[in-house]
Amino acid sequence: MIVVLKPNTPSQTENEFIDHLKSLGFNVHISHGIDHTILGLIGDTSRIQPESFIVYDFVDNVMRVQAPYKMASRSFHPDNTSIQIGEGLPNVLPCTIGDGNIVVIAGPCSIESEEQLISIAQEVKKSGARLLRGGAFKPRTSPYSFQGLGSKGIELLLSAKKATGLPVVTELMSITQLDLFNDIDVIQIGARNMQNFDLLKELGGCKNTILLKRGLANTVKELLMSAEYIMAAGNSNVILCERGIRTFDSYTRNTLDLSAVPFLKRESHLPVVVDPSHACGMSWMVPTLAASSLVAGADGIMIEVHNKPECALCDGEQSLTPAQFDTVMSRLKKYAAVEDKTL
Ligand code: PEP
Ligand code: MN
C-alpha cells in the first residue's frame, strides 16, 4: 500500500504518522519527491482499509499496490533508478547504469589465467566496454566440467580491475563465498540462483550492486519478486538481466525474450541489462541480438568475449573475439546515436 502525503505536510506530522504506521507492524519506505512524500508500507496490508488513512487531513491519496513487488515497482518509484558503479574508488573508472545511456559489460565466461583475463580486459576496454565480467565460481550443468578458478579467479579479476580501472562483475553462488566479494563492484546472481531466497536475503546487507539474472524457467514477475527480496532486505542497487528462457524450441541455446525489456522498463524503475550471449549460445547471432536489445530499451548489454574462443574452458561457441567485439561496439554506437543515447 502506498500513502501519498499532501505537499507541505510538517515534518513532525509526517514523523508521528510514520511512527503510527510502524506501531501497526509495517516497515515504512519513505520517498521524498519535490512536492509529495510517498510512504510505502511493507508488510501485510490486506488487513488495512485505505479509508482508515484517508481520514487524516494531511493524506492526499492511498493506493493499494497490486504488484506485490512494491520496491521494484515503478508505481512506487516513478523515476528511473540509476546506479553508480565504482564511484569514488581510487584508479577505477566509474560508470552509471540506468541514466538513459548504454553500458556494455564484456569479458570471458570464465576466468582462466592472468594472461587471458588481462588481455581480454585491455581489448574490451579499448573498444568501449565499461565493466569487465568473468566467472570465478561457475554453475556448470556437469560436475565434471570446469568449475572455475574459485578464489584464485577472484584475485585475478581484482588484478585486472587494478590494471585497467574497469569495475568488475562476477557470479556469487553461495553465501559462504561472500567474504571474497568485498571489492567486487557488481555481484552477479546467475539464472540458476534467481530464486535462492536465502542468498537473495543475504545480499540485502551488502553494499555491492547486484546483477540479477532471470531464471531459465521464470516469469518476469518472478524476476521482479526476486529483486524485491534483495531490496526489502536493504539493498536497492539491483540491475535486472534478461538472458533467455527455456522454450519448446532448441535452435538457440535459450529463447531471448526481448519483449521482457520494454515490459520491465514499464513495470519497474530498475536498470535492465540483456545478455545475448547466453540467450542464443552462438557467436554469430550475438551482434544482431545485442543491437536489438539496445533498440528494445536495455540500459546495458553483457557480451562474452574470449581471446581464443576455440580454446575456451566454458562457452567458447558463444564468445566473440576481441576484433568481433570491436565491430559490435561500432555498430552499437550507431544504434545508440539513433536512440539519442551514448555508449
Ligand atoms: C554467466 O553469465 O556466465 C552465466 C552462467 O549466466 P546464466 O546464469 O545466465 O546462465
Ligand atoms: Mn557463460
- Give the closest ligand to the alpha carbon of residue 135: 1
Q: What is the pLDDT of residue 46?
A: 67
Interatomic CA distance for residues 339 and 264, integer angstroms: 18
Please say whether the beta carbons of 149 and 177 come within 8 A.
Answer: no
Residue minimizing CA distance to atom 1 of ligand 1: 109
Percent of the chain with pLDDT over 70: 99
Average pLDDT value for residue range 187-194: 98
Closest CA to 230 of 206, 213, 252, 253: 206
Is 69 in contact with 229 (CB distance < 8 Å)?
Answer: no
Ligand number, closest to the Cα atom of 306: 2
Q: Is the pLDDT of residue 214 over 70?
A: yes
User: What residues line ligand 1, using a CB cutoff of 6 Å?
Assistant: 109, 135, 139, 190-192, 213, 243, 278
Average pLDDT for residues 37-44, to the nearest whole number?
A: 90
pLDDT digit string (tens) for 90-113?
Answer: 999 999 999 999 999 999 999 999
Whether residue 53 is predicted with pLDDT greater than 90 in this model: the reply is yes
65 has pLDDT over 90: no
Q: Give the mean pLDDT of 239-262.
A: 98
| Sequence-ordered list of residues with C-beta below 8 angstroms from that of 179, at least 6 positions apart, any chain | none
Q: How far is the CA of 134 from the centre of ligand 2 (A)?
A: 9
Atom of ligand 1 nearest to the CA of 315: 3
Average pLDDT over residues 148-172: 98
Å from CA of 52 to ligand 2 middle:
52
What's residue 49's pLDDT? 80
For residue 154, the Cα-to-chain-centroid distance in whole angstroms is 20
Does the pLDDT of residue 66 top 70, yes or no?
Answer: no
Ligand nearest to the CA of 139: 1
Please check whether residue 89 is in contact with residue 95, taking contact to mean a CB–CB distance below 8 angstroms.
no
- Mutate which of 145, 171, 187, 318 for ligand 1 pocket (most atoms within 8 A of beta carbon): 171
Q: Span 50-79, mean pLDDT?
A: 88
pLDDT of 196 higher than 90: yes
Q: Give 267-310 pLDDT, tens digit per residue.
A: 999 999 999 999 999 999 999 999 999 999 999 999 999 999 99
pLDDT for residue 218 is more than 80: yes
Work out which ligand 1 atom sits closest to the CA atom of 138.
5
Residues around the ion ligand 2 (C-beta < 5 A): 109, 315
pLDDT of residue 220: 98
The average confidence (pLDDT) of the chain is: 96
